[in-house]
Amino acid sequence: MLFIWKGSVLKKIIVQLVLITLFSFAVYLFKGKIYDYKVHLNPTIFTLIGLALAIFMGFCNSASYDRYWEGRKLWGLLVIETRSLTRQIFSLINNNSPEAKEEKRKIVKIISAFCWSLNYQLRDKSDTEHLLRLLSPEQVKQLEGKKFIPSIILGFIADWLNEQNKKGNIDTIILTSLDHQLNQFSNISGGCERIYNTPLPFAYSVLLHRTVYLYCFWLPFGLVDSLGWMMPLIVLLISYTFIALDAIIQEIAEPFGEEENDLALNSICRTIEFSIFEQAEIPQGELKKPDSYFVD
């Protein structure tokens, strides 16, 4: 674990750590003096400030992780709901002719397209690669210029279910059950948008960021007399702890990004597609089941 680079925030903060370490060496060489003035800072002060800072960072870390974990639960629920809807489409809709089965497979592809479109929306991407692969040209054309594409795609599924009801392939009770599944999709989409559109209050981030860096740059003056030449190394260790936690808080507070510690939405979408295509007996081609939810 000491030498793992992937997933570590060290590459984000390495410049800050180097600057603080060099500054600490300078403080040591000049014996804590600025020109002829000796900066007297009692280590007890840093103990009190460090305790308050740790409590505040713990609060911000909990708030950020709550956002991350809620996003993970919503996408985990999406995995469950897509499989349930696919099962219901194939087991509850009476028509099992070859043409009807092919229509059901098209709807399963639309379900997968919904997942990819939600992925793109949360990541502010205008990608259409998977949508072109999974939707018909007419459906893709209907999406042009639309801002909330996942909702439009849910409309495609709802229209198809309504058509099946008119044809007598499903009764009103089953239609209500399937509509409940679509409502779950809307709830998941809305929950993700709530996280995306409501970041942590900016005042928290600014206060935490400023306090961490002021603490780390003043710390050498409080430790230089008591630790001597070991002071830069101790300051480096303490600074790494605080600055790295600050970086982690900022990273996981936006769980739908594409950084290494964000949710692996691409992997989850591929997993959903793999599983529902298996249920629908759709040829997978080169699609392979992902090894992990945590590798995007």
258-281 tens-digit pLDDT = 888 888 999 999 999 999 998 888
pLDDT given for residue 227 in this prediction: 82
Higher pLDDT, 228 or 22: 22
pLDDT given for residue 40 in this prediction: 78
Contact 225, 39 (CB under 8 A): no
Average pLDDT over residues 231-245: 91
pLDDT given for residue 164 in this prediction: 85
Average pLDDT over residues 86-115: 86
Does residue 36 have a pLDDT over 80? no
Q: Kindly indicate the confidence band of residue 107, based on its pLDDT and cuts at 50, 70 and 90.
A: very high
Does residue 129 have a pLDDT over 90? no
Q: Kindly indicate the confidence band of residue 104, based on its pLDDT and cuts at 50, 70 and 90.
A: confident
Does residue 9 have a pLDDT over 90? no
pLDDT given for residue 293 in this prediction: 55
With a pLDDT cut of 70, the percent of the chain lying above it is 96
* Residue boundaries of the structural domains of the chain: 66-200+253-296
pLDDT given for residue 42 in this prediction: 78
Residues 149-205 have pLDDT tens digits of 999 999 999 998 898 888 888 888 888 888 888 999 999 999 999 999 988 888 888
E strands in the chain: 33-34, 37-38
* Closest of 214, 243, 218 to residue 231, by C-alpha: 218
Kindly give, in sequence order, each residue whose CB lies less than 8 Å from that of residue 174, ignoring residues fewer than 6 positions away: 88, 92, 93
> Which amino acid, one-letter code, is at 121?
Q
Of the segments 33-42, 94-103, 121-130, 286-295, which one has the largest average pLDDT value? 121-130
Output the six-digit token pair for 3.
């030498």
pLDDT given for residue 204 in this prediction: 84
pLDDT given for residue 29 in this prediction: 86
Cα dihedral 132, 137, 140, 142, rounded to 10, equals 180
Does residue 5 have a pLDDT over 80? no
